Copies of this chain bind each other. A is one copy, B any other.
Amino acid sequence: MSWIYGLDLLGVFVFAISGVLTAIDNKFDVVGSAIIGMVTAIGGGTLRDILIGETPVGWMKDMNYLLVVLAALIVSYLFKNNIIQLKRSMFFFDTIGIGLFTILGIQKTMDIGLSPFVALLMGIVTAVFGGVLRDVLTNVVPLVFRKEIYATACLAGGILFLVLSNFSNYLNLNLVSAMLVVVIIRYLSVKFNWTLRKSIRKD
């Protein structure tokens, strides 16, 4: 399943860049930016692994995850002005990352014998808690609590994946369909501004 592994690393890369850029925006120094980038990229999966008892957590056993975060840190500093122009592409890969993280979180949780309901929750945790931890560490109310569609897209994609898995053994097809649902819902929600968000920044 090497294309899934590649997409996973790509998701980590894009999440890490978004974390580092947030940190730079907050005028953090390079060490702070590295920590925020790492937390954003692998924080969700780390929390999932801790909750389901899969420790040492996943990225400790595969050096590539930390190397990708390091690469993202370097790329962010080298090209930080250009990356902002790439926001559209960033958004695209970010959404793919969210979709994939959801499904991988679901799979890992079901692999150790937990129920589909718990797996769905762990899929959402994998996809959104990196961002929640980033927001807690930069002292703002987590964005996901104010933008409903973000987590709802994960929920919809996750449910589709679970349903499809009951009917078909084509893992790749199930995976792509579920990710497509996440991407489409999130794309439409941004395009048409689907959200119940109100202006509640407290910081």
Q: Interface of A with B (CB < 8 Å)?
A: 23, 26-32, 35-36, 46, 50-53, 55-57, 60-61, 63, 66, 112, 114-115, 117-118, 121, 132, 136-142, 144-148, 151-152, 195-198, 200, 202-203
Contacts and interface: CB of A to CB of B under 8 A. Distances in A.
Nearest to A199: B27
Nearest to A151: B31
A157 to B, nearest CB: 14
Nearest to A113: B56
A26 B200 contact: yes
Closest 10 CB pairs of A and B: A53-B55, A32-B145, A29-B148, A29-B196, A31-B151, A27-B200, A28-B145, A52-B56, A139-B141, A60-B118
A49 to B, nearest CB: 9
B139 A29 contact: no
24 contacts: A26-B202, A28-B146, A29-B145, A29-B146, A29-B147, A29-B195, A29-B197, A31-B148, A31-B152, A32-B148, A46-B51, A50-B50, A51-B56, A52-B55, A53-B55, A53-B57, A56-B114, A60-B115, A63-B115, A136-B137, A137-B141, A139-B202, A139-B203, A203-B203
Contacts of A203: 139, 202-203
Nearest to A136: B136
Given A28-B200, A137-B145, 16 more contacts: A27-B198, A27-B200, A30-B148, A31-B145, A50-B51, A52-B56, A53-B57, A55-B55, A56-B112, A63-B115, A66-B118, A132-B137, A136-B136, A137-B142, A139-B140, A203-B203
Nearest to A114: B60
A30 B66 CA distance: 34
